[in-house]
Structure 1
């Protein structure tokens, strides 16, 4: 219990994006921006579904406050300008069309802001630097080296800490109480570990399960936690981690590196000189080209499968919600009917997404296990090659 309290306290201390005073500053800045926008904004404003969808699914330099989307919890912005100087400031200084100007080591002023709709870096942090155009010095946008703690980055840290807490909780139980079966949440986590290890990893990898099991279990729990956090609408949820193709690409690249770095000689022989008729590999290397192409399509399939499934679920829920406002222009009857139908289907889709979150974590882990297992083949298919020891039993108390 003390360990759990300590980890939760550490989570709040390390990942709390900003103090409450910064949130108040953010609210004040937003109030000023609203006053400026009210003068130029027309009374009737059409809803832009595309803009709303990409705003909710994309990354950001702030974390939306529940039920008050205009106010955001600031996050730290860390950038390196074109002169090589580093700057760190709160994201509240660049929100709602505002610019932030800092002074570098040489006394020159550096201005940073978010790219507007007419910028090729829309909603990305950009800097302004002088550039000579047609004999005149003008300020032009450029993309600085950006190491900011964005919403997705912060969510990844939270997911990692939660996975560490889950694993350490199970380890602490067995360290204190031996092989007595755990209960409640600890028992559920242990059941998932046994399900993945003895149901997927052990039957596929056999004696090499202990070598690759830690990575495969880690990636399963990370994807599962990230998927479930993405379904939450309040902090620490709301970040679409696995719906970001950059995140799924990195996970797939790790599997790709493990497969090919630890691949056996037999694996590489089957890639460059497969066991097929000679005319399929010489003089025209038809099969070697296909096998080599397959080496790169495997991580691509892992990337797209996880990204597309999680992104698709979020888009469906957002579109169902937007239908309420789009069809509301037809009248109160249409708005009321759409509200009921959209609410029912949105809740149904969220329940489906909970199941999909587990399925996608399971599928990614299973395919990674299969790819690693294929790379560990040594060419011997004896009787005892695939024997798998039975899962140990625990004593229920």
Structure 2
């Protein structure tokens, strides 16, 4: 079973690296061909622009050069109200359509002179690549858990089969090794949220490794939202011991309390910040490293370099596969620890008792 799963994962990694390399090769070849026809000289490859293009959000979903899925653009202004059109309109008009301009994925209103109208605020509710990936991961998560639940009820008391045999051990591991030890007897109340959190992060981490996938968990807005939800759940359910520990820590002299208040309040807000930055930085850094390695192929334009880079990229994809699971685990573990520290009956452990 383990050997079969390992073989499939290695096959997926190999295909992923080949697809990415082929995609970039096609993009580099076509860009070179177009520039040669236009200016009869080779255009310098901009690796920074390539990396930012692939890790940032956009109003269209580009899987490879020439393979683009347009997404709905939903805009609102006080003068024109709600306007909905396809992002392909911007591509057809070189970034301009119906008085709007898409300036590096920021949509602005144009004035009669053709410049940016700073007085008009454009509310952008568009379905961007990250939003579409978010909806896709939500559908996958619902279908996955529904299938596992049905299989569990059907095979109750029997050996798990199919996808249940892969997901069920992970669920039990998170419950028994992460949630129970850190939250305690009241763990069942928070288990649904923590399981949803783990699998949501894991699924989006894995989707981000697929060629053309969106960098959703590498978007700091998403990681910040997850951290804020954890922060709210933690402090809504916190008991009096938690708040008393913040206001008057045991054993601290009265004169030192103002300083301790600053330290404790800073610690309260540093927890969600650490959750936000850790997930965002690790996922984004991994994508940047892989894209940088692939960019070396077009900088050196050598088959030898291409072969070495492909091997290193395959290795980095394997590392990123491990990181995808590890970051989901760490985020869930820290969330469990924060909730557990807020609902425990006393804070004697903080003072070494």
Indicate whether the TM-score tops 0.5: yes
Aligned to 1:344: 311
Aligned-partner SS, 1:65? strand
Q: Distance in 2 between matches of 1:192 and 1:376?
A: 25
For residues 279 and 41 of structure 1, do their structure 2 counterparts lie closer, same or farther at Cα, with a shift above 3 Å needed? Answer: farther
For residues 123 and 341 of structure 1, do their structure 2 counterparts lie closer, same or farther at Cα, with a shift above 3 Å needed? Answer: same
Q: Deviations over 1:19-64 (max 9, x none)?
A: xxxxxxxxxxxx9xx9998886562211111111100000111111
Q: Distance in 1 between matches of 2:39 and 2:105?
A: 20
For residues 197 and 280 of structure 1, do their structure 2 counterparts lie closer, same or farther at Cα, with a shift above 3 Å needed? Answer: farther
Task: Give the drift of 1:139.
Answer: 4.4
Q: Does the 8 Å CA contact 2:217/2:283 hold for their aligned counterparts? A: yes
Aligned to 1:105: none
Aligned: 1:376 with 2:352: no
Q: Deviations over 1:242-301 (max 9, x none)?
A: 11111101011100111111111110111111113214534xx11121011100000000
Aligned to 1:367: 334
Q: Does the 8 Å CA contact 1:63/1:73 hold for their aligned counterparts? A: yes
Instruction: Say which of 169, 179, 189 aligns to 2:167.
Output: 189
Structure 2: give runs of 5+ residues left out of the alignment. Answer: 1-29
Q: Does the 8 Å CA contact 1:81/1:127 hold for their aligned counterparts? A: no
For residues 204 and 65 of structure 1, do their structure 2 counterparts lie closer, same or farther at Cα, with a shift above 3 Å needed? Answer: closer
Instruction: Say which of 34, 40, 43 aligns to 2:41.
Output: 43
Larger Rg: 1
Task: Give the drift of 1:127.
Answer: 1.9
Aligned-partner SS, 1:54? helix
Aligned to 2:260: 287
Structure 1: give runs of 5+ residues left out of the alignment. Answer: 1-30, 102-110, 116-121, 131-136, 329-334, 383-397
Instruction: Say which of 242, 263, 276 aligns to 2:238.
Output: 263
Aligned to 1:202: 180
Q: Does the 8 Å CA contact 1:267/1:376 hold for their aligned counterparts? A: yes
Aligned to 2:102: 114
Aligned-partner SS, 1:95? helix
Q: Deviations over 1:161-186 (max 9, x none)?
A: 11111211121123333332322311
Instruction: Say which of 185, 203, 213 aligns to 1:225.
Output: 203
Aligned residues: 317
Aligned-partner SS, 1:59? coil
Task: Give the drift of 1:74.
Answer: 0.5
Instruction: Say which of 95, 100, 113 aligns to 2:97.
Output: 100
Q: Distance in 1 between matches of 2:33 and 2:211?
A: 28
Aligned-partner SS, 2:110? strand
Q: Distance in 2 between matches of 1:149 and 1:352?
A: 31
More helix per residue: 1 or 2?
2
Task: Give the drift of 1:141.
Answer: 3.6
For residues 126 and 38 of structure 1, do their structure 2 counterparts lie closer, same or farther at Cα, with a shift above 3 Å needed? Answer: farther
Aligned to 2:87: 91
Aligned-partner SS, 1:370? helix
Runs of 4+ with >4 A deviation? 34-42
Instruction: Say which of 135, 142, 146 aligns to 1:157.
Output: 135
Give the CA RMSD over aligned residues. Answer: 2.4
Q: Distance in 1 between matches of 2:225 and 2:107?
A: 23
Instruction: Say which of 52, 55, 59 aligns to 1:54.
Output: 52
